[in-house]
Amino acid sequence: MTSPSLPVTESSYLDIQGALGITKHNGGLSATLEILRLCRVADAQEVLYVGSGIGVGPCVIAGRSRAHVVALDISERMLDWTRQRAQEEGLGDRIETRQGDVLSLPFEADRFEAVLVESVLAFVQDKARAIRECVRVTRPGGYVGMNETVWLLRPPAAKVLEQATALGAYILTADEWQGLWAASGLVDRTSEVASIGLRDEVLSRIQWVGWRWALRAYGRLIRLLREHPESRQAIRDQFRAPSGVVRLMGFALMTGRKPI
């Protein structure tokens, strides 16, 4: 894949991630494996993974089950990364890519045994509608699982909220997420909130993408900065977090089953 070229002075957080070939979610690989377990993905025939990013989640599913995986993302650039990763891991015939929006999923109702969403709805304002769409395309008796960022206790200071909004993120408190999940119509619901440890988060992020992939992404970052010096401020702004923000932030693992 060629070196990225960006309108860097106006690039969003997700644009920059797409250019570098890097994505993450809180909790890393262990969080994904826990959702797979709770949603019984090992028994599924077809799974939808919403927000494929660079393809780690779809590859984890394909590598640990016999399911056909549909990897959906709103970004064609991210779908390119997903296809590349699937080919590199020998899973290209098991993973189908599809462009689409979680607010209007391009699938018929009652199709998938499991629908999984990780670190997507933080960037969606109408979270209730997104949840309804995920439930709609899930088969009766199938599972919906989500891993989403939360403010642990209450909305933080205005400075922190402004920074999150600048990144395009609309983060809820754990209680607000609980309310949305309770209204989802799903049964046998589970919900677990965990805090983020900075050291563990860095290590889990590298484990999630893989050392080789992380090093290549770092190389792309160096090339981007060298070839597009005007991007430096944009990248700095995108990845600078307010002091203490990590201790205010956690993640919620939520699963539920669609009634039969």
Q: What is the 3-state secondary structure (H, E, C) of 82-107?
A: HHHHHHHCCCCCCEEEEECECCECCC
- Asked if residue 135 lies in contact with residue 29, where contact means CB atoms within 8 angstroms, the answer is no
The whole-number pLDDT of residue 252 equals: 93
Distance CA 78, CA 84 (A): 10
User: What does the buried/exposed string (b/e) look like for 146-175 if buried means 16 or more CB atoms within 10 Å of the residue's CB?
Assistant: bbbbbbbeeebeeebbebbeebebbbbbbe
Q: Residue 1 has what pLDDT?
A: 44
* Cβ 119 vs Cβ 24: under 8 Å: yes
Identify the pLDDT of residue 158.
73
Tens place of pLDDT per residue across the chain (260 aa): 444 444 444 467 677 777 777 777 788 888 899 999 999 999 999 999 999 999 999 999 999 999 999 999 999 999 999 999 999 999 999 999 999 999 999 999 999 999 999 989 988 999 999 999 999 999 999 999 999 989 887 767 777 677 666 666 788 988 899 999 999 999 999 999 988 766 666 676 677 777 788 888 888 888 878 877 777 766 666 555 554 566 678 899 999 999 99
Q: Provide the whole-model pTM.
A: 0.85
Instruction: Judge whether 223 and 165 are in contact, CB under 8 Å.
Output: no
Structure tokens at 155: 């909305």
What pLDDT sits at residue 221? 83
Residue with tokens 């939360």: 150
Q: Residue 171 has what pLDDT?
A: 85
Per the structure block, which two tokens stand in for 210?
A: 């893989």
Q: Which of 234, 20, 39, 33 is nearest to 145 (CA)?
A: 39
Q: For the chain, which domains are there?
A: 8-257 (3.40.50.150)
What's the pLDDT at 239? 59
> Would you say 131 and 252 are in contact if contact means Cβ atoms under 8 Å apart?
no
Written as one letter, the residue type at 97 is T
Residue 75 contacts residue 81 (beta carbons within 8 Å):
no
* 117 vs 186: CA distance, rounded Å: 15
